[in-house]
Amino acid sequence: MSESYKKYLSKNSVFFLNVKTKTELLDAMASRVVAEDSSLDKSELVTKLEEREELMSTGMGLGIGVPHLRYSAIKNPRVLVGICRSGIQDYESMDGQPVKIVAMILVGESQHQEYLKILSELMKKLKQDDVRKKILSASSPEEVYNILIG
């Protein structure tokens, strides 16, 4: 059975990032989202992501960050994956380690069940040591995409 996150992940939604802080990360990923959906307001999206992070960091440990949001302006779930090999030191992850793999999940306010399914299945994949090692040593976003889809 195919994981649900795969239907929301595209080759264009996987990319390498060159950011140093969580603020820069959220801004860069929000830019990607807005570039593909001009109906969204980037400033509002960043503010909502920052508000969510203030409630509790989404740094899950193992170098994984999962900023996520249920947001009324999102009509269809979105999954983006950013790779930051240098690591984001100020992410405040549970294990205190820098975040290098960021999986952003955006869903509409009424899509809570789909959100939980996407989060669960994506985390199951990313918690595998061999998957994280392959992702961090990948030479292109397409290679990362194929690792996640495979």
Task: Single out the catalytic residue among 22, 32, 68, 78.
Answer: 68
Task: Compute the distance between CA of residue 18 and CA of residue 105 in angstroms, rounded to an integer.
Answer: 20
Distance CA(135)–CA(102), nearest Å, equals: 11
DSSP state of 66: -
Query: What is the C-alpha to C-alpha distance for residues 44 and 134, in angstroms, rounded to an integer?
Result: 34
Read off the tokens for 129: 């040591």
Residue 112 falls in the annotated catalytic set? no
| Closest CA relative to residue 79, chosen from 111, 53, 52 | 111
Task: Identify which of 38, 42, 83, 41 has the alpha carbon closest to the alpha carbon of residue 65.
Answer: 83
* Active site residue ranges: 68
